[in-house]
Chain A
Amino acid sequence: MTESGRKTLAGIALILALGGLIGWIYDAAERGLLIAALVALLWQLRNLIAFDRALHTGDFGVFRYGEGIWQQLFSRFSYEHERGDRYKQQNRRIIKEIQKSANAMPDGAVIIDQRNEILTCNKAAKELIGLKRKKDRGQRLDNIFRDPGLTKLLQSSESTRAVDLASPLRENEWLNCRVVPYGADQKLVLIRDVTDRIQLSKIRRDFVANASHELRSPLTVICGYLESFAEDEQVPEHLLQPLSQMRSQARRMTTIVKELLDLSRLEGAGLAATDQAIDIAALVAAAMKTYSGCEDAPKIEIHIESGDQLLGAQSEIESVVNNLISNAVRHTSVDGSIKVSWQSGPDGADLIVRDTGEGISAEHIPRLTERFFRVDRGRARGDGGFGLGLAIVKHVLERHSGELIVVSERGVGSEFRCHFPAQRVAAA
């Protein structure tokens, strides 16, 4: 038993004893005890009522003095009460700080539930996509920020995804939206202003396109004169060698400029139209003509296993075929062999170019489609490759919803497989 409990019991015992004693003196011990018990009860009742009032008013000052169980109870309660208040204030302050920092963030953040309904958002989100915090709570995010890209993003089930969208409020501004799983069944949508990045890549693309375009006309003039010098008999003997080198280099430069132009055109374009059916067999046959008379080219086999046609842009697919075959020829020695095949199945069609050349090591495969990437920096220059071919192939395939799959082993050979989805294939 605690100290205060003992004191209270002692107090009650004292009252009862006093009552009993006085009663005993006047020869009415029972009545004395009864009155004492009543007094003790009243005393307890008074404290109980005071406690009840203190609970309502929150003022525990009445019980600051005295001893016993009630005083203990009151001071304890009042202490907890004050502590609770203090914590509440502290928590409120912390929440305010967090809100402040969320609002100070330059990126917009919107929390949505599994039905894409907005739970809360920060200030930047309001400014970036025009949300209204009070009014839009409970609205679906894709009902306010209606962009087919966002709807698709919210529907897809990958864990972290991002997409660039045009700003709904301001022109020529771009937002990057990223969806991150958050809490139970919730999603956090992060919105960032990426106008600068988009602008920059546009400037880069425009620059490459313009520069290549501007380089083309002077090159045509240079090539023209060099060609005419080649047939001119008055050109002195000692200039013939330099002139022929100049001619081949000028031709090389023309090809690079042309490929750069192609590439920048492909980069900016969306999906290719599907109204043109392309006969792959004819394309491959046409490409083969280049190598038919060549003695230093390896043997090339053609396996056309399907009569299906591809839907897309003829000239682009032609450049894919040419690039893949010329790559294979360049990297395969004369005694090797190259196999070009075209096959189709229920999930689409494949154009496969397989060679028995030197192969590519695994760490280089992901970088093959970068512009000007070369596996062997020291080599290559002389053999006619520019490092743009596979970049073009990649972009053409993207435009045809296809993908490039490269399998290769050093010393054994490589396989370049262009896979086209079923909707790009027209059955023969």
Chain B
Amino acid sequence: MQASNFTDHISRSFNQDIEGLRNQVLTMGGLVESQLSKAIAALVSGDSELGLKVANDDYKVNELEVSIDEECSRILATRAPAAGDLRLIVAIIKTITDLERIGDEAEKIGFLASKLAAMDRPSDSYREIKTLGTHVLHMLRDAMNAFARLDVTESLEVVREDERVDEEYEAIQRQCITFMMEDPRSIKRVMNVTWVARSLERIGDHSKNICEYVIYMVQGRDVRHTDISEASDLASE
């Protein structure tokens, strides 16, 4: 049984190539998801060892990116795909770049978490960061689900969600500024927290990008840099 409409070719080995590529991208997505969730957990629970582990494990994501990239070039060169297949390959090449960036941001969060674990913790134990982190993690999950199911509706949902993440990020930033003004001694710690928030916000953006590639892959329409209502019009046409 073949899941996607992309894998419907006369050549069976082409089918297998493309299926394998999709699976690899999703494996990479799974790895990035677990990296992010670990990084957030390390920060919230003040677990410096887990934070360092996340930072040290980023190479796995990078390795996958390189191998998928090579596989894409190989398919482009040997199969000369057209139409839907070409869009799929192009979308994958872009998706893995974004996934790799998300991996880098997770690495950064892990590293900052290990640094923050050594400093005294705020009374709310990073509740806002945790909320933002969970939100972003769900966005990433939904983005990868949309990729697996080639689901345009879910993709649009994620694109919409990104605006809310941006608002949350703004709120955290304002809060951090207040903290720094109230107590200049906390500046060093709060600066790190703003970096974490910044990374999370970037992950939200990358997840949104992935969803835009999914729409491109399925509908053949480029919805980047458009407003959300315009994007949903384009996607549903």
Contact = CB atoms under 8 A, between A and B. Distances in A.
A171 B30 CA distance: 16
Interface string B142-159: 001100110100000000
A151 interface: yes
Contact of A168 (B23, B31, B134, B141): B141
Contacts of A142: 23, 26-27, 30
A151 B34 contact: no
B22 interface: yes
Interface string A352-373: 0000000000000000000000
Interface in B177-196: none
Interface string A294-306: 0000000000000
B118 to A, nearest CB: 17
B99 to A, nearest CB: 11
B3 A146 contact: no
A93 B23 CA distance: 39
Interface residues of B, number: 24
A181 interface: no
A126 to B, nearest CB: 13
Contact of A135 (B30, B134, B149): B149
Contacts of B151: 135
A147 B1 contact: no
Given A136-B149, A168-B141, A143 B34 contact: no
B30 A151 contact: yes
Interface string A366-404: 000000000000000000000000000000000000000
B49 A269 contact: yes
Query: Nearest 8 pairs between A and B by C-beta?
Result: A146-B30, A138-B1, A138-B3, A143-B26, A143-B148, A139-B3, A148-B31, A146-B29
Interface of B: 1-3, 22-23, 26-27, 29-31, 33-34, 37, 49-50, 53, 56, 134, 141, 144-145, 148-149, 151
Given A137-B1, A144-B145, A151-B30, 18 more contacts: A117-B1, A117-B3, A132-B149, A135-B149, A138-B2, A139-B3, A142-B26, A143-B148, A144-B149, A146-B26, A146-B27, A146-B30, A146-B33, A147-B34, A166-B37, A168-B141, A270-B49, A273-B56
Interface of A: 113, 117, 119, 130, 132, 135-140, 142-144, 146-148, 151, 166, 168, 171, 269-270, 273
